[in-house]
Amino acid sequence: MATDHHDTNTSGAGGAWRWAGVAAGGLVYLFLLLPVVVIFLSAFSPQAYPQFPPASFSLRWFRAFLDNSAWLRALQVSAWLLLIVTPLTTVLGTTAAYALARLDFRGRELLLSFVLSPLIIPQVVLGIALLYVLTAAGLAGSMAGLAIGHTLVALPYVVRTVSVSLSGMDRRLESASQNLGASQAYTFTHVTLPLIRPGIVAGAVFAAVTSFGEVSVSLFLTAPGTVTMPVRIFTYIDQTFDPVVNAVSAAFIVLAVVALVIIERTVGLTKAI
């Protein structure tokens, strides 16, 4: 009977801890989700200032965004950067990760640290350094200069995600392919790449998100004709306080959800991230 009583107490304590963990996790998710919900719903407010919850629903600020040429120009610049930086960073990062994982050469660890250094260096310092270098090269304020800056910032994410996929891959599959007569290039394209595809997709997603949301470096590299969307949002909030920014954020939230759905349908979120 004493043993049964002890088991009952242990089971009750374990259940209490489990419910406490669930409650703590729920609070964390609520803390993360609440700002998104506030931004999303306040974008539909008809008032001239953000209101939550909105008294009624209106598309006034979405129309204001679409009717504003400065917003559309910033969106165009960010979209072009996204189309340039994402494939460029994915190719460079995948190649660099493969070389660092498969080749054994002197200074490999030092080179890996150099590639990943943008994750450690403060973004402001990196922006100032790029401003000096690109100004000397005549690229400051141009799309090419912005693409270089965004590629430098996003490259470490691709290298890290692809490196994780390579480290978890069974290298005997590559050896078996080459032992059967396949060349190294054929093995890379038909064996290695399909196996590390989740890491490549994840790296591309991180590169796209990093490029599209980059503010610190972009502030130093933009010109009046190459203002990106994050920089436009940053400067707009400093000057004006209306729900246009909320409408832009709501549109980006929808795009992010669509991107997550596409990733889940193609490679699966657990494999990609």
Q: Is residue 184 part of a domain?
A: yes
Query: Could you give the maximum distance between any two Cα atoms of the chain, in Å?
Result: 85
Q: What is the CATH number of the domain that holds 126?
A: 1.10.3720.10
**Alpha-helical segments (H) within the chain:** 2-42, 60-66, 69-102, 108-116, 123-136, 143-167, 171-179, 184-187, 193-195, 197-213, 216-221, 229-239, 244-266, 269-272
Per-residue pLDDT of the chain (273 residues; tens, 9 = 90+): 555 555 555 555 566 777 877 788 888 888 888 878 877 877 777 777 776 777 778 787 788 888 888 888 988 999 999 999 999 999 999 998 888 887 777 877 788 888 888 888 888 888 888 889 888 888 888 888 899 999 999 999 898 888 888 888 777 887 888 788 877 888 888 888 888 888 888 888 888 888 888 888 888 888 888 888 888 888 887 777 777 888 888 888 877 777 777 666 665 555 555
The contacts of residue 102 (CB under 8 Å, 6+ apart) are 166
Q: Is residue 26 part of a domain?
A: no
Which residues constitute the domain of residue 136? 68-272
Q: Is residue 268 part of a domain?
A: yes
Q: Is 64 helix (H, G, I), strand (E, B) or coil?
A: helix
Residue with tokens 């490029």: 211
Q: Is residue 178 part of a domain?
A: yes
CB 169 within 8 Å of CB 97: no
The rounded distance, in Å, linking the Cα atoms of 66 and 72 is 7
Backbone region of residue 268 per phi and psi (left: phi > 0; alpha: psi in -120 to 50; beta: other values) = left
CA distances to 178, 193, 253 from 172, rounded to whole Å, are 10, 15, 42
Q: Is residue 162 part of a domain?
A: yes
The rounded distance, in Å, linking the Cα atoms of 57 and 257 is 22
CA distances to 90, 126, 164 from 120, rounded to whole Å, are 20, 10, 19
Residue-wise pLDDT for 106-165, tens only, equals 877 788 888 888 888 888 888 888 889 888 888 888 888 899 999 999 999 898 888 888
CB 141 within 8 Å of CB 226: yes
Q: Is residue 47 part of a domain?
A: no
Q: Is residue 32 part of a domain?
A: no
CB 97 within 8 Å of CB 84: no
Total domains in the chain come to: 1
Q: Is residue 22 part of a domain?
A: no
Dig out the tokens for 242 from the structure: 């209306």
